[in-house]
Structures are given as C-alpha cells and as structure tokens.
Amino acid sequence: MIDASRLHVDIDLALDSFALKVDLQTHAQVTGVFGPSGCGKSSFVESVAGLRRQARGRIRLGESHWLDSDAGLFLPPEKRGVGYVPQSGLLFPHLSVGENLRSGFRRARDSGKDPAAICSNVVELLELHPLLDRAVSTLSGGERQRVALGRALCSAPRLLLLDEPLAALDQPLREKILPFLRRVRAEFDVPMILVSHDPIEIQALCDDVVVLREGAVIARGAPRDVLIDPSVFPIANERGFENVLPCTTIASDEWGTTVCLGSPPTELRLELINRSPGPSSASLVAIPARDVIIALERPPGISARNVLPAVIEEVHTVGNFVLVKAALSPQLPGVAVEVGRAACRELDLCRGRSVFLIVKAMSCRMFAEKA
C-alpha cells in the first residue's frame, strides 16, 4: 500500500539563467527546501502547487498523480488539494478575516471533512478569534500571515506548501509567528513543504531538508547535519548561523529564565536574559555559532553565565575560520562553533577532545510555545 503522505517530485523547469532539476521523494512531516535567494526554491514549490505549467516530469502524492508530462497529464492547482501560503499571504482584500477562512470550506467538504470543525480548531490554534470581523487592510504583517496560514488549513489540504512565510516580517515578528508554525506541525496531520533561507526556521520546523544551488540539489538530510556541512555552511551562515536546541523552562522571573537543554532530567542548563519584562517560557533556544567560546578547562571568575562540557566531533576549515561541531549529549544535536584558525591551532582542537563551551546569556534567544 502506498503511503498517502509520500511525495515524489521529479521535475525539470527551464528558468532565466539555469534549469531547475529536482528528483525528490519524501514522507517526512515537514520537508525543508533551503538555499540562497534566486536558487529556484519558489519555482520548485510553485511547480508542486501546479502554478508552473511549463514544468516537465512527474509529481505524485501517494496514489494521486498530479503531473506526468510524458503521458500528457497535468492536474490544475485547484484539483491537487494543496494549501499554498506565499510570502505575501495573498488574502482576499474584499473579504473579512472570517470570510477569508471560510473561502476554503467547499474544498474541505469535497474531501469529506467537516469545515466548521476544522475552522474552529484553526481559529483556536492560531489565536484568530479577535480578528474574525476585521478587514484585511487593518491587519499587521504577522496577523496577515496567521490568517493566510489559517485559510490554507481550513481547506483541509492534503499537502501544505509554505513559501518563505516569515521572510517579509521583521525579526521580532518572526520570533512570534514561528511558535504558531510549530503548533500547526504538532496539531495537524498534514505533510508540509517549507521553503526558507533561514536556518532557524529549517532547524525548528523540518525533519528533512533539501539544499538548492542554481536549480540543483547539492545536499539532503537531517537539518542540523546538512546546515553545518562545510559545503553548505557558508550559505547557512550568510546572516550568522544560530544553533537551535530544544529546551524546557525550569525557572523564570523578571530578570531571566533558566532552561535545561533537551527534556528533564538533565544537568545541561542555560541561563537566559528575558527580552521583555516578566517571566518567560522557552521551548527552543538559539545560540549564535560565532558567540560561543571554547575553553580547554573550566574558567573561574567570568561574567558569562553558561559553561557547558562538550566533546568535539568534527573540525573543518571553512574560508578564513574553522567550524567546530561539539556534542553536548547523545540526545542533542551537535553545536556549531566558529573559531579563528590561529586559535584552533594553538588550542589543538581536534576530534574527541573534551572542552567547555562558554555561552553568554545575552547572546541567546528564546522561542516560546503557545499555550
């Protein structure tokens, strides 16, 4: 029996300066498509959605064939049962928020689902109830993206396509919307394709990632392993790479929050500075690779609040610095650290060496789950 969530895309699409050629099979809940601007990410997801009529090859979800150019088959977008959320959201400007959400009800009914029940769940999940009677023109950027995501979900899609849904938002808004996407991942049994050039989004949301460069797949695998591969890291590090680690809040007050990395019980703890007044709760923490210091011994008398024991797993020269991957525990992904070449040589950093990672509380960012 064919897995209904297994997606197979084998396409060839001529673009302005190169050809997009992707052969991908995945049954991951969230598959990321990562790469620099202009590498073909949006063209790929538009081909899956049926918006690129000139794409050649084959696309299949489970037993449903959407494209087979050799057989002359092309299923139009409205027949594919996809929920598509582009960067701009593309809400219907003449409809209220509630009317936008209900615009996908017919598709949900056609698929045998109860649209009212789905909509009620979506409204609660994305905290849209205060917005239902609002005009689209009055919404902020973050509100528009939540509504666009909600409208896609209300159509009961077989596949959710997210084309850089946070790219148009500033950093504070992106930090607020990311937890909503994680809630959708946890609550809805629908496979997703997430297009992004942000390593934080890929690490926080994806089980699998494909990296594109000029239309070609250059890497594929688990997000953290792929992003800190020496051939991919320069792309992931364009804006400064941040390690995203799961955590559990164990204490919080007006000054800061203490988390344990992974799930308790664990002695791996981080002290974090709250960005806004009052107690906070974190489920993910982001640690910039260039803000971590490596020491051979536990240093006494320093202002940095976090000193974590680790073991070096990999050392690679990347351009004018060295990329060190250090393991905190078997249950956590390795932490990427940028080190100067001279410092790496003087400390004799090598695979298997025990070290201490020094992390300033001010350098870390928290991402809270929505209750």
* pLDDT 10s digits, 225-269: 999 999 999 999 998 999 999 998 888 888 888 999 987 777 799
Global pTM?
0.91
pLDDT value of position 189: 87
Residue 123 CB coordination number (10 Å)? 19
Could you say which of 1.20.1250.20, 3.40.50.300, 2.40.50.100, 2.60.40.10 is the CATH number of the domain covering 243-367? 2.40.50.100
Delimiting residues of CATH 3.40.50.300 domain(s) in the chain? 7-237
The more confidently predicted of residues 335 and 263 is 335
> What pLDDT shows up at residue 370?
55
Amino acid letter, residue 167: A
**Average pLDDT over all residues of the chain:** 91
pLDDT, residue 278, reads 58
Please say if the pLDDT value at position 371 is more than 60. no
φ, ψ of residue 260 to 5 degrees: the values are -105, 140
Query: Tokens in use for 244?
Result: 């995203």
77-116: per-residue pLDDT in tens? 999 999 999 887 789 999 999 999 999 898 999 888 999 9
State yes or no: pLDDT of 166 exceeds 90: no
pLDDT bucket at 1, cuts 50 / 70 / 90? very low
**Is it the case that residue 369 has pLDDT exceeding 80?**
no
Number of other residues whose CB lies within 10 A of the CB of residue 355: 21
Digit-coded pLDDT (tens) for 191-213: 999 999 999 999 999 999 999 99
Q: Which of 254, 266, 209 lies closest to 232 in space, CA to CA?
A: 209
Which residue ranges does the chain devote to CATH 2.40.50.100? Answer: 243-367
Mean pLDDT of 14-34: 96
pLDDT at residue number 280: 66
Confidence of residue 368 (pLDDT cuts 50, 70, 90): confident
Least confident segment among 1-10, 92-101, 174-183:
1-10
- CA–CA distance from 60 to each of 107, 183, 267 (Å)? 19, 27, 46
What pLDDT was estimated at residue 70? 95
Give the Å distances, CA to CA, from 298 to 289, 306, 309, 328. 19, 11, 8, 15
Q: What is the pLDDT of residue 335?
A: 95
Residue 31 exposure: Cα atoms within 13 Å on the Cβ side? 23
State the architecture of 7-237 in CATH terms: 3-Layer(aba) Sandwich (3.40)
